[in-house]
A and B are shown apart, each in its own frame.
Chain A
Amino acid sequence: MKPSTKRTDRKHSIWVWTALAVMVICPLFIKNNYYLDGFILIFMWGAFAGAWNILSGYAGMTSLGHNAFFGIGAYTSTLLFLHFGLTPWLGMFAGGFLAMTVGLLVGVVCFRLRSHYFALATLAFGEVCSILALSWRSLTGGAEGLALPIEPSLYNFAFDSKLPYVYIGLALCAGVTGVCYYIENSKLGYYLTAFKENEAAARALGVNTGRVRLTAMALSSFLSAISGTFYAQYVVYIDPSSVIRLPLSVQVALFAIVGGVGTVFGPIIGAAIFIPITIALRGWLGTSVTGLYMIIYGVILIIIMLYMPDGIYGKIKNRLTAAGPANS
């Protein structure tokens, strides 16, 4: 990590703005829905991975239960819309606050656990939520899921073309990145890092490690739920296997870890690299040999993890700091 008060590299901000500009302009010229779908998925997963990263990366409390927060977001906004006609724009925040409340409860109970045990406890929590979604048929529709009526309007958070989704997704993803940037360059970020590095030392220096972790949990669960609502509005159909099952947590952890855990841009880079790979491999090989694309996907993953143990962004950052002039 580069030593300076601004822990995020200022020097590379030009790249960030360029990337943002490219992402704003590019979709305007893409007419193919197949590619636009790719952009939307990257933004959605980038936002979700960024949210996951706040708790699991900065605080180092690896969660395998974020599927529950994503699902809470998707179900809450959808149910509020179906039953009360509440616009998903507000339902999204209702879901966010519900997820935050649940997240804080999970935190109060599970934060006494460390590393693997915390991961296992959150995994169990996620599974309970997913079973609940499957079994509580009167509320969630069980395995059949819930479909949103397709009536495009701004109020309904539903659109004819993919372009609005691209930009809403981009805004969401940029928002999450902004939160992460703020955290990294604030007291909270310092305290979370101190906790992650050495809890006893952090507490001896006056850091209330319980409270800073709960703050991280609150932000993380809230933003995960927002990503869940976005998914629901985009796909207009949700069921347990698409919004609340365990594989979501595995997927989101994978994007963040491969991209660079505990960094501002790592999770998004992870999503931006792996989603196109998944889509492309599935497109080329999905029909010829069943499952072959999964094998190739796995091999690519293993290679990246072997050669970039700090994640893709971690590797880039190390290169840049090693090559660039010293900051002092």
Chain B
Amino acid sequence: MLQVRDISKSFGGNVVLSDVSFDINSGDVVGLIGPNGAGKTTLFNILSGVYRSKTGRIKFNGQSLDRLKPEQICKRGLCRTFQITKPFGNISVTQNVMVGALIRAGSLKKAEQKALEILEFVGLYDKRDTLGRSLTIADRKRLEIARGLATQPRLLLLDEVMAGLNPQELSEVKRLIEDIRHSGITLFIIEHIMGVMMSLSDRIIVLDYGKMLCEGSPDSISCDPDVIKAYLGEEYLAATS
């Protein structure tokens, strides 16, 4: 479904990503982990068209995404959420989601129907008339997911939708992600909470200082020496081995 080959990005002299390549297959849940500053969000920004890669190419369902703008990429079925949530503050939650639904819906009425369906699905239905800016962090994250879903993506990129949630909220969002997966949407997820990532993902990609450290099943990742080194340091690796 998604083929990424040799993606690189640098800001000034600062290399943020170098030669990143991977595939995502339809129906998968793929996790993207790595220490802070590893380039995870930058990778999302490149995939969604916010930045352009210096090198390499990206193919989505056989089509090249290299020269497309964010809105065009969204229309082709690849949508992303934002780590720092960006609700439309002065309109209602329903209207927020309607904006996403409108690119596929023919009329406002249909978009509203779709939006309400999705709000029901993500558990924001009771807050449908609340203004975007008055939502709590947990609800803002849900709104990000809801708006993304409203565009009816085939691949949804979730950028830390679980950060800052309490255990109760966390398990709800986890269930939501499983529901999304079962609805047939492929997921590519950035997250720091390892336990959740291990249980949700089919495959995990590890980034460190802009380089692909490794890629594999959750189990193989968790005992990879390079990953342990990146997260816990060389001393830890030396002490345990």
Interface residues of A (CB under 8 A from B): 1, 3, 5, 7, 185-187, 190-191, 193-194, 197-198, 200-209, 326-328
Contact = CB atoms under 8 A, between A and B. Distances in A.
B95 interface: yes
Nearest to B130: A3
Contact of B82 (A185, A197, A201): A201
A201 B86 contact: yes
Contacts of A208: 69, 71
B108 A209 contact: no
Given A206-B74, A208-B71, A198 B94 contact: no
B3 interface: no
A203 B71 contact: yes
A-B pairs, top 9 by smallest CB distance, nearest first, are A3-B92, A206-B74, A206-B103, A197-B88, A201-B86, A203-B70, A3-B129, A205-B100, A198-B86
Contacts of A190: 95, 98-99, 102, 108
A3 B94 contact: yes
Given A203-B69, A204-B82, A205-B147, A197 B103 contact: no
A5 B100 contact: no
Contacts of B150: 205
A185 B108 contact: yes
Contacts of B215: none
B15 to A, nearest CB: 24
A202 B91 contact: no
Nearest to A193: B91
A191 B88 contact: no
Majority-rule SS of B interface residues: mixed
25 contacts: A1-B90, A1-B92, A1-B131, A3-B91, A3-B92, A3-B95, A5-B98, A5-B109, A7-B95, A185-B108, A187-B102, A187-B108, A190-B102, A191-B99, A193-B88, A193-B99, A198-B88, A200-B70, A200-B82, A203-B69, A204-B74, A206-B71, A206-B74, A206-B151, A207-B103
Contact of B91 (A1, A187, A204, A209): A1
A249 B100 CA distance: 35
B90 A204 contact: no
Contacts of B75: 206
Given A204-B48, A206-B75, A197 B108 contact: no
B79 A204 contact: yes
Contact of B129 (A198, A200, A326): A326
Interface in B115-133: 128-132
> Chain B contact residues (Cβ within 8 angstroms of A): what range?
35 or more
B50 interface: yes
A191 to B, nearest CB: 7
Nearest to B86: A201
A193 B148 CA distance: 17
Contacts of A3: 91-95, 128-131
Given A1-B91, A205-B147, A327 B100 contact: no
Contacts of A193: 88, 90-91, 95, 99
Contact of B88 (A187, A194, A203, A327): A194
Contacts of A198: 86-88
A250 B50 CA distance: 36
Contacts of A200: 50, 70, 82, 86
A194 B151 CA distance: 14
B80 interface: yes
A197 to B, nearest CB: 4
Nearest to A189: B108
Nearest to A201: B86
B228 to A, nearest CB: 35
A3 B100 CA distance: 16
Interface in B54-110: 69-71, 74-75, 79-82, 86-95, 98-100, 102-103, 108-109
B89 to A, nearest CB: 6
A194 to B, nearest CB: 4
A40 B47 CA distance: 55
Contacts of B91: 1, 3, 193, 197
Given A1-B131, A190-B95, A194-B99, A201 B88 contact: yes
Given A1-B92, A187-B108, A194-B88, A205 B129 contact: no
A187 B93 CA distance: 16
